[in-house]
């Protein structure tokens, strides 16, 4: 996936639920590479995850600043709001 975008997440108790949420929000079109200390999530641009889907998968309220703290890196351009984070290739805009 040379044109893929997405986050690199440090391992934590919430990572599995976050990955499930990303898969749900993107119709499962993601690749997950578990490297032990971190997980790389990649998919076609634009890739997105919503606060609501993470909260649903965790079974508790969730603020996206928590996800930002887990991201050690990402590929693409990131756009954040209180309700959604998205990654896209340079020059693409959210519809």
pLDDT score of 90: 79
Region of residue 23 (phi > 0: left; psi between -120 and 50: alpha; otherwise: beta): alpha
pLDDT tens, residue order, the chain (95 aa): 568 999 999 999 999 999 999 999 999 789 999 999 999 999 999 999 999 999 999 999 999 999 999 999 999 999 999 999 999 997 765 54
- Give, for 69, the enclosing helix (H) or strand (E): helix 64-70
Radius of gyration of the chain from its Cα atoms, rounded to whole angstroms: 12
Please report, for the chain, the start and end positions of each structural domain, with discontinuous segments joined by +: 6-88
pLDDT score of 15: 97
Say yes or no: domain 6-88 is CATH 1.20.1370.20.
Answer: no
- Alpha-carbon 95 to chain mean position: 18
Token pair 């079109």 is found at 29
d(CA 47, CA 9): 15
């Amino acid at each position: 996936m040379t044109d893929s975008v997405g986050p690199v997440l440090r391992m934590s108790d919430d990572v599995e639920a976050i990955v499930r949420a990303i898969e749900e929000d993107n119709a499962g079109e993601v690749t997950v590479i578990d490297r032990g200390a971190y997980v790389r999530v990649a998919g076609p641009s634009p890739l997105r995850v919503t606060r609501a889907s993470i909260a649903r998968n965790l079974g508790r309220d969730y603020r996206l600043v928590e996800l930002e703290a887990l991201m050690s890196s990402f590929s693409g351009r990131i756009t954040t709001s209180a309700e959604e984070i998205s990654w896209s290739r340079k020059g693409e805009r959210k519809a």
